[in-house]
Every structure is written in structure tokens, then in C-alpha cells.
Amino acid sequence: MYERKIPVDLDCPLRLTMSLIDSKWKSCILDELRRGPMRPSELHRALPEASPRVLDIQLKELADDGLVLKTIFPELPPRSEYAISPLGESLIPIIDAMLEWGERNKRLFEAKYKK
């Protein structure tokens, strides 16, 4: 059974929030799902830089934490779909603030990190 490598820190509200969306892809997954439910393959196409294994692990963690909802359709072949939950929706203002900050300060870091 999968076990989180880094435990959730319950001692500080900031560390709690960060431990739930701390990975490189979790906030990106939530940002994609705000537009509507997506199948895993659609998320893989939307975030091609992330390996499928990493996305699958992070989707599982997001679902286990209640930030996304996973629906498995009882058909052959079976298919699944992920949607942002109301709890996950409550993180969208934080993600929007991160997007705005990144856009506002992008030029400061372009010279340093541009490849």
C-alpha cells in the first residue's frame, strides 16, 4: 500500500496547507480540474512534463485528502474521471494568487532561469 513520504504537518496552518499542495504538480492538477472533470489520460496530456507515475501518485494523494473526487464508471472497459471537490475549490484563490504573483514577477527570474 502506498504511504506518503512526507507526513502532513498539523502543527502550523501554513505547513498544513503546503503539505497538501507541496508537490510540483498538485497545484497544477487542481488548476486543470477547475475547468471541469478530466480523465487521467487528459491530465497526462495537459501536463506532459510530469511522468504518468508521478501524476498518478499525486492524484491518489489529492483524492485521499479529499481535494479531488475520483469517479469510476462501471462499464467495460472501466474508466475513471477526476473532478475538483468543494474542499479543493477552496484552494483556488490561493492558486490564483500564486499565478498572479508568478506573472507579476516573471521578468525578475527570466534571465536567471531561462534556458
H helices present in 1-115, as ranges: 13-21, 26-33, 40-46, 52-64, 86-89, 92-113
pLDDT band per the 50, 70, 90 thresholds, residue 3: low
The CATH class, in words, for 13-113 is mainly alpha
pLDDT at 19 > cutoff 60: yes
pLDDT band per the 50, 70, 90 thresholds, residue 1: low
- What are the structural domain ranges in the chain? 13-113
3 state SS of 80: strand
> Global pTM?
0.86
CA distance 79 to 45: 16
Instruction: Calculate the average pLDDT of the chain.
Output: 90
* pLDDT, tens digit (0-9, with 9 covering 90-100), for 49-67: 999 999 999 999 999 999 9
